[in-house]
Amino acid sequence: MNLLAAVAYNPAMKDKNYVKLLRQASPYIHAHRGKTFVIAISGDAVLQSNFHSMVHDIALLQSLGMRTVVVHGARPQINKRLALSGIETSFEQHLRITGSEAMLCIKEAVGSTRLAIESQLSMGLPNSPMHGARIRVIGGNFVTAKPLGVRDGVDFQRTGEVRRIDSQAIKRQLDDNSIVLISPIGFSATGESFNLNYEDLAAQVAITLKAEKLILVSDSPGVMNKGSLLRTLSLPQLAELLETSKDVQQISLLGAAAHACQLGVERVHLVSYQQDGALLSELLTRDGSGTLISKDYGEIIRAATIEDVGGILELITPLEDQSVLVKRSRELLEAEIARFTVVVHPEGFIVGCAALYPTADKQIGEVACVATHTDFNGQGIGSRLFDQIEFQARLQRRSSLCVMTTQAAHWFLEKGFVRAEVTDLPANKQSMYNYQRNAGVFYKAI
C-alpha cells in the first residue's frame, strides 16, 4: 500500500504535515515491525459509521510489517438477533447463559459480524487507502473451547471458555503475511461450538502467541479516573480499579487486560473506536490516545546521558518558546547533560526532566529546567523528579536549593520553598539574572 496515500486518507491526520508525521512515526514503525499485535474489537465498533477507517488503520499497520491478529466481539449483534427470534437469555456472574436455541442465533450473529469485517478488509477501490493492499484474511478452527460447566449451581450450558489456542497454525498464517481474524466461538473435541467472551479470548490469544501488545478497542477512550483519562496504569493500580468497579463492560475489559499482563503480555492498550485514528496514534505517536497498562510500569528515573539530548529538547522546546523555561541550545544542553535527571516512559521516551546546577556558593544548589510533558502532568512525575534532585543535593552536602521560576512559583512553595530576593542569590546567579524575564526567586533549606 502507498503509505503516504494511506496517511493522507486518515482524516485525523489530513491537515498535518505528512513528512513530519512520517518522520515522527518512523521510530515506532521500526520498533513494531515483525512484532505480533492482537487487536480486540468490540461488536459495537463494527456497527460504527467510521468502522471502515479503523479497518484501514489495521490494514496500514499490517502493511508496515506488524503481525496482526484481530479478535472480534458481537454483543449488540447477538442481542439484536436474539430479540428478533424472541429468545431471552439470562446473565449470571456477568456471563450469558447460552441455551442451544440461543447458540444458533449467536452463530448467525457472529458469522455475519465476521463477514462484515472480512468484507471491509477486502476493499480495494482505487483512490481509497485500501487500494492495492490485497489483505489476506484467514480464519479457522484455531480455538478449542470447553464448556464453562456448572458454577455455584448455575449451568452455563453453551457458554464456554478457551481450552487451547493453536498458536503454531496462527503463526504460520502470520508468517505468510495474513491477518488472522478470530471470532468468539470455540469448538470442542466433541464437535460442539461454544460462546466465548471476546475479551478473554483476545487475552488468551495474546498470551499464547506471546504477543508484543494486546490492544482492546471499545467505546471508552481508556481508563477514566474522576473524569480524566489515565495515560498509564500499573498492574497493582489496575487490580485496585477492578476491585472497586461496578461497570460490567469495564470489568470484562480490565479483567482481560490484567490477565494478559500477568501472563507475559508486556503492554496492553485501551483505545476508543469513537476517536478516529486512535489506533494509529496509540501505536505510532509518542502521545498515544488511550491508556497503556503494563506489568512493570513504573517509569525509570535516571541520570541523563548524551543520547537523551534529543528527547529533552523535544520536551522543553515548547516551554522555552512560551518563555516558561530559559532557552538552551543543543550545544549547551550537551555540555550540561550530566546535570540532568530524566523520567523515561515504559515505551522509552522522555516524559520529564530536571537539572541540578552548582552555584558560586558551595552550600547552594540550583534547581532548574523542571518539566513534565503536558500529557503526563498531575501524575507526580515533577514531584518524583524534585525528590531525586533534592536527594542529589544532599549527597553533594548542600544545605539549600534555590530556583528561579516565572510560572511554577506555587508548585515550589508547596515543596517547602520560600520567596527570596535576587540579592539573596549566589554571586554568579545574581550577575546572570535576567531582569526582563523577572522570574521569582525561591529558596529551600534541605
Ligand X SMILES: CC(C)(COP(=O)(O)OP(=O)(O)OC[C@H]1O[C@@H](n2cnc3c(N)ncnc32)[C@H](O)[C@@H]1OP(=O)(O)O)[C@@H](O)C(=O)NCCC(=O)NCCS
Query: Considering beta carbons, is residue 148 or 408 the nearer one to ligand X?
Result: 408
Query: Considering beta carbons, is residue 41 or 343 the nearer one to ligand X?
Result: 343
Among the residues of 132-277, which ranges form H helices? 167-175, 198-209, 235-244, 248-262
Residue 340 β-bridge partners? 355
**Min separation Cβ 383 and ligand X, Å:** 3
Which H or E run contains 105? helix 100-121
CA atoms within a 13 Å half-sphere pointing along the CA-CB vector of 272: 12
As to burial, measured by CB atoms within 10 angstroms (0-12 exposed, 13-18 middle, 19+ buried), residue 220 is buried
CB 279 within 8 A of CB 61: yes
C-alpha cell at 83: 430479540
Q: Is 408 in the site for ligand X (CB under 6 A)?
A: yes
Q: Which of residues 35-74 bind ligand X (CB under 6 A)?
A: none
Count CB neighbours of 275 within 10 A: 16
As to burial, measured by CB atoms within 10 angstroms (0-12 exposed, 13-18 middle, 19+ buried), residue 324 is middle
Q: Is 178 in the site for ligand X (CB under 6 A)?
A: no
Point out which span in 18-26, 51-59, 235-243, 376-384 binds ligand X (CB under 6 A). Answer: 376-384
179-182 and 137-138 beta bridge pairing = parallel
Place of cell 544548589: 365
**Min separation Cβ 403 and ligand X, Å:** 6
Q: Is 232 in the site for ligand X (CB under 6 A)?
A: no
Query: Considering beta carbons, is residue 77 or 372 the nearer one to ligand X?
Result: 372
Q: Is 344 in the site for ligand X (CB under 6 A)?
A: no
Q: Is 319 in the site for ligand X (CB under 6 A)?
A: yes
Query: Considering beta carbons, is residue 32 or 429 the nearer one to ligand X?
Result: 429
CB 270 within 8 A of CB 250: no
Q: Which of residues 93-132 bind ligand X (CB under 6 A)?
A: none
As to burial, measured by CB atoms within 10 angstroms (0-12 exposed, 13-18 middle, 19+ buried), residue 370 is buried
Single residue of 410, 418, 437, 438 touching ligand X by CB under 6 A: 410
Query: Considering beta carbons, is residue 94 or 419 the nearer one to ligand X?
Result: 419
Query: Considering beta carbons, is residue 28 or 340 the nearer one to ligand X?
Result: 340
Query: Considering beta carbons, is residue 115 or 224 the nearer one to ligand X?
Result: 224
* 355: helix, strand or coil: strand
Q: Is 380 in the site for ligand X (CB under 6 A)?
A: yes
Cα(291)–Cα(24) distance, integer angstroms: 20
Residue 230 β-bridge partners? 223
Q: Is 292 in the site for ligand X (CB under 6 A)?
A: no
Single residue of 20, 227, 378, 431 touching ligand X by CB under 6 A: 378
**Min separation Cβ 370 and ligand X, Å:** 4
Query: Considering beta carbons, is residue 177 or 237 the nearer one to ligand X?
Result: 237
Single residue of 381, 389, 393, 441 touching ligand X by CB under 6 A: 381
Cα(327)–Cα(310) distance, integer angstroms: 15
Single residue of 405, 417, 425, 443 touching ligand X by CB under 6 A: 405
Cα dist from 19 to 25, 28, 283, whole Å: 10, 15, 18
Single residue of 234, 383, 392, 400 touching ligand X by CB under 6 A: 383
Q: Is 377 in the site for ligand X (CB under 6 A)?
A: yes
**Min separation Cβ 351 and ligand X, Å:** 9
- The torsion region of residue 121 among left (phi > 0), alpha (psi -120 to 50) and beta comes to alpha
Q: Which of residues 323-342 bind ligand X (CB under 6 A)?
A: 324-325
Point out which span in 32-40, 142-150, 159-167, 367-375 binds ligand X (CB under 6 A). Answer: 367-375
Cα(63)–Cα(432) distance, integer angstroms: 54
Single residue of 165, 207, 368, 389 touching ligand X by CB under 6 A: 368
Residues engaged in binding ligand X (CB under 6 A):
319, 324-325, 368-372, 377-383, 403, 405, 407-408, 410-411
